[in-house]
């Protein structure tokens, strides 16, 4: 088992806290190189575990010889059993904002605030990449990892990515939530737009249809140190 940090935007943090997000897709690096012939250089969609015990998947090489070079291992990170401690946009209160914080509830010196919870204000927020482990409040327990082409995402998986429906029918009659829109392309389109805001400028937009790792996880609303200490106890 390995502990790793993972970054999420504020909307995705909200989805994690609300129990709406249990999957995350990340770009597979390096991307497999396609080639012609009977066995194209495409990655096999698998959570194949190697005899060595390493978790990963593999591709077919473009090189015809030697035979042992046909298969190229792609170790997947993270792997099932790993713990991911979530980094998010945050701020640490460095000075008292008023003289009666114990009475009015204003944050006290040393208190950590999270942008996903308190929203935008005039606070000097720090980027998620700079969040130390001790301030993380969400831990993800990896249950499964697989690879697939981005555009293969289903409407059901789009929901697991935290995408929400916003339609007057489903908004007023939530009992019809699944029947109205989840069978169509609405959710996939919403995920496509979300994906593009994060990855299109890097050359991995929806239309590029890159290979991605799909990580499934269980959400724990606590610091990773708290979770691991309970496991030891």
Cβ pair 16, 86 in contact under 8 A: yes
Pair (153, 223) in one structural domain = yes
Q: Would you state the torsion angle of the CA atoms of residues 41, 45, 51, 53, taken in this order, to the nearest 10 degrees?
A: 120
131: three-class secondary structure by DSSP = coil
Beta pairing, strands 71-75 & 139-149: unpaired
Q: What was the pLDDT predicted at 230? A: 72
CA distance 208 to 212: 12
pLDDT level of residue 40 (50, 70, 90 thresholds): very low
**41 versus 104: which is more confidently predicted?**
104
- Out of 105, 126, 147, pick the residue that ends a domain: 126
Confidence (pTM): 0.78
CA distance 210 to 28: 8
How confident is the model over 160-170, as a mean pLDDT?
73
pLDDT level of residue 185 (50, 70, 90 thresholds): confident
pLDDT level of residue 42 (50, 70, 90 thresholds): very low
Pair (102, 212) in one structural domain = no
Cβ pair 191, 161 in contact under 8 A: yes
Pair (145, 228) in one structural domain = yes
Pair (137, 202) in one structural domain = yes
Q: What was the pLDDT predicted at 99? A: 56
Sign of the CA dihedral with 105 first, then 107, 111, and 113 last: positive
Pair (180, 158) in one structural domain = yes
How confident is the model over 202-224, as a mean pLDDT?
95
Pair (48, 113) in one structural domain = no
CA distance 47 to 50: 10
- Out of 68, 98, 126, pick the residue that ends a domain: 126
pLDDT surpasses 50 at 144: yes
pLDDT level of residue 218 (50, 70, 90 thresholds): very high
84: three-class secondary structure by DSSP = strand
Q: What was the pLDDT predicted at 19? A: 93
Q: What was the pLDDT predicted at 43? A: 46
Pair (71, 96) in one structural domain = no
pLDDT surpasses 60 at 48: no
Average confidence score pLDDT of the chain: 78
Q: Which domain, by its residues, includes 118?
A: 90-126
Pair (114, 223) in one structural domain = no
- Out of 98, 126, 154, pick the residue that ends a domain: 126
Dig out the tokens for 11 from the structure. Answer: 């909307």
How confident is the model over 129-157, as a mean pLDDT?
93
How confident is the model over 45-60, as a mean pLDDT?
50
User: Domain total for the chain?
Assistant: 2
Dig out the tokens for 138 from the structure. Answer: 């969400």
pLDDT level of residue 232 (50, 70, 90 thresholds): low
CA distance 182 to 157: 10
Pair (195, 94) in one structural domain = no
Percentage of the chain exceeding pLDDT 90: 44
Most confident among 54-63, 143-152, 198-207 (mean pLDDT)? 198-207
CA distance 136 to 88: 8
Pair (76, 102) in one structural domain = no
Pair (84, 199) in one structural domain = yes
Pair (47, 133) in one structural domain = yes
Name the percent of the chain in helix, strand, coil, to the closest 5: 35, 25, 40
Q: Tell me, what CATH number does 135's domain have?
A: 2.30.130.30
Residue-wise pLDDT tens digits, 58-115: 555 555 554 554 555 666 788 899 999 999 999 987 766 555 555 555 666 778 999 9
């Amino acid at each position: 088992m390995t502990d790793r940090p993972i970054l999420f935007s504020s909307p995705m943090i909200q989805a994690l806290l609300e129990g709406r997000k249990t999957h995350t897709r990340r770009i597979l690096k390096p991307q497999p190189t396609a080639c012609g012939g009977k066995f194209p250089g495409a990655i096999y969609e698998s959570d194949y575990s190697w005899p060595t015990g390493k978790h990963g998947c593999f591709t077919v090489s473009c090189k015809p010889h030697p035979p042992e070079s046909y298969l190229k291992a792609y170790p997947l990170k993270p792997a099932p059993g790993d713990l991911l401690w979530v980094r998010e946009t945050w701020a640490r209160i460095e000075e008292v904002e008023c003289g009666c914080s114990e009475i009015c509830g204003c944050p006290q010196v040393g208190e950590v605030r999270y942008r996903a919870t308190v929203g935008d204000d005039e606070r000097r927020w720090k980027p998620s990449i700079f969040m130390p482990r001790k301030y993380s409040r969400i831990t993800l327990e990896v249950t499964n990892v697989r690879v697939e082409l981005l555009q293969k995402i289903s409407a059901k998986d789009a929901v697991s990515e935290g995408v929400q429906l916003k339609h007057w029918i489903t908004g007023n009659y939530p009992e019809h939530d699944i029947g109205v829109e989840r069978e169509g392309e609405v959710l996939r389109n919403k995920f496509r737009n979300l994906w593009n805001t994060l990855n299109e400028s890097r050359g991995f937009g929806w239309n590029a249809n890159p290979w991605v790792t799909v990580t499934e996880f269980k959400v724990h609303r606590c610091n990773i140190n708290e979770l691991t200490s309970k496991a030891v106890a």
